[in-house]
Amino acid sequence: SVHTRDEVELPPPAIDNRLTVHPLWPEIDRISTEQIQAAFEGVGGEIGWQLFAEEGDMRMYRREMEVDGMVMDPLKAMHKVRGVSAREMCHYFFNPRYRYEWETTLETMTIVEEISSDAMVFHQTFKRIWPASQRDALFWSHVRADGDTYAVTNHSTTNNDYPANTGACIRLFVTVCLACRTSCPAGERPTRDNITTSIAYCSTVNPGGWAPAGVLRAVYKREYPKFLKRFTSYVQEQCHGKPLAM
Ligand code: 16C
């Protein structure tokens, strides 16, 4: 059959065999499963989650958490986006080709390893937040379909070629999950005009070393809503006029 370039690179509906024989597979599978299961769990009545940003269908919650004076507030965001599918959302989040176009905290991104069509390892450096030292991160990224959900999970890892804390950067640690589900009116065929995708984005960033709590929480409060609004409208723009990929 004939495929466009984009179609071939969409997240595969089943796990790529090359991933299941990789040494990272047991960890990737376990953490992805945990993250996806927890992603859509309610924040409503649960203790400790506080709403800190609300705009249209977007709601962002955080739980204040400090370990040895370092802010590690877990974040959970819920959003609803029209006209794009869960699979398309995950395609743009996972594929490095688009990352500089929506990721505003990025300074550099290097592909460390292409494990399979659905898993990669990345090294990224981020813009410096004054007065803290610049940060970098090394993480695997995995996209999968799980029942009615498409999700990307990112989680920190190590690699001898990219040792932590040897240069100007302090290594931070991250666990992120973007989980998406598409719905359309009962009995109708999904089209760009009738689908809505629910998004759950969860993130925990351990800054890896000292950074002033006040500055960190201010950055957090500004950058997460900025990211989610920018990323979702970026995907809507990219998909506009293209055939729907479910
Ligand atoms: O999930 C997101 N992006 C993915 C693809 O890049 C991936 C990245 C995760 C890394 C998240 C850590 C970002 C740290 C940025 C620090 C510099 C920010 C400078 C901004 C000033 C212009 O999963 C989207 C990620 C959206 C990130 C929002 C910002 C979160 C800040 C949390 C505090 C970081 C501690 C830094 C210590 C100095």
Q: Cα(148) to centroid of ligand 1, in Å?
A: 28
* pLDDT computed for residue 9 by the predictor: 80
The alpha carbon of 128 and the centre of ligand 1 are apart by a number of angstroms equal to 11
Q: Which atom of ligand 1 is nearest to the CA of 227?
A: 26
Read off the pLDDT of each residue in 134-163 and give the average, rounded to a whole number.
98
> Would the CB of 164 count as within 6 Å of ligand 1?
no
| In contact, 183 and 190? CB cutoff 8 Å | no
Q: What is the pLDDT of residues 186-205, one digit of tens each?
A: 999 999 999 999 999 999 99
Q: Is the CB of 103 under 6 A from ligand 1?
A: yes
CB 173 within 8 A of CB 206: yes
Which atom of ligand 1 has the smallest separation from the CA of 219? Answer: 31
Percent pLDDT > 70 in the chain is 96
Task: Report ipTM for this prediction.
Answer: 0.95
Average pLDDT, rounded, for the chain: 94
Q: Work out the number of other CB atoms within 10 angstroms of the CB of residue 233.
A: 12
Per-residue pLDDT, 69: 83
**Contact criterion met (CB below 8 Å) for 81 and 235:** yes
Name the pLDDT band for 1 (thresholds 50, 70, 90).
Answer: very low
Question: What average pLDDT score do residues 167-172 get?
Answer: 95
Q: Provide the residue ranges of all domains of the chain, joining segments of one domain with +.
A: 5-239
**Residue burial 50-87, b: 16+ Cβ < 10 Å; e: rest:** eebbeeeebbbbbbeeeeeeebbbbbbbbbebebbbbb
Please indicate whether residue 169, judged by its CB atom, sits closer than 6 Å to ligand 1: no
- Distances in whole angstroms, Cα of residue 177 to Cα of each of 67, 90, 161, 195: 22, 10, 26, 22
**Any atom of ligand 1 within 6 Å of the Cβ of 29:** no
Dihedral in degrees, nearest 10, Cα atoms 40, 44, 49, 55: 80
Instruction: Label residue 44 by pLDDT band (50, 70, 90).
Output: low
Query: Is the CB–ligand 1 distance for residue 234 below 6 Å?
Result: no
- Greatest C-alpha distance within the chain: 58
Q: State yes or no: pLDDT of 72 exceeds 50.
A: yes
Candidate of 99, 205, 220, 222 to mutate for ligand 1, largest count of ligand atoms within 8 Å of Cβ: 205
pLDDT at 245 over 90: yes
The residue among 21, 28, 23 whose CA lies nearest residue 156 is 28
Ligand 1 atom closest to residue 208's alpha carbon, by position in its atom list: 37
- For the ranges 3-17, 97-111, 132-146, 206-220, the lowest mean pLDDT is seen at 3-17
| Range 5-239: architecture per CATH | 2-Layer Sandwich (3.30)
